Amino acid sequence: MYSMDDLLHLVNSDGADELRLHVGTPPVIVLGGEHHTIEGPPITTEDAEQFLQSIANTRHRRELRERGVVQFIYRFRRITDFVVCARMEDENVGIDIH
């Protein structure tokens, strides 16, 4: 299972452009325009919900339910700010982090 903290640490330490978390595929890191799939199992619906729960506050989750999309800033370990875009993809949450 993946940890959002570990994934964001990897993105930050590698200087990646983006982290993509979508149900049915393993996490993908975009580095220099190239997509790199992280070795491991596909993300489950439960994983995606846990990822969102770990970085989004109640207002963000409510907006996602009501509008189907939400964008917000997430401060990671007081080191860097990420722009998070979460959207409903059918019945699942998809998350792109820049």
| Residue 2 or residue 25, greater confidence | 25
Q: How far is CA 63 from the centre of its chain?
A: 16
Q: Give the separation between CA 52 and CA 43, rounded to whole angstroms.
A: 13
pLDDT in tens, 27-55: 999 999 999 999 999 999 999 999 999 99
What is the pLDDT, as a whole number, of residue 14?
A: 84
Q: Give the separation between CA 62 and CA 64, rounded to whole angstroms.
A: 5
> What are residue 57's phi and psi, to 5 degrees?
-85, 180
> Which domains does the chain show, CATH number per domain?
4-97 (3.30.450.90)
Q: What percent of the chain has pLDDT over 90?
A: 86
Contact 46, 31 (CB under 8 A): no
Would you tell me how many other CB atoms lie within 10 Å of the CB of residue 14? 11
pLDDT in tens, 87-96: 999 899 999 9
Contact 54, 46 (CB under 8 A): no
What is the pLDDT, as a whole number, of residue 50?
A: 95
Task: Using DSSP, state whether 66 is helix, strand or coil.
Answer: helix
Q: Give the separation between CA 52 and CA 83, rounded to whole angstroms.
A: 13
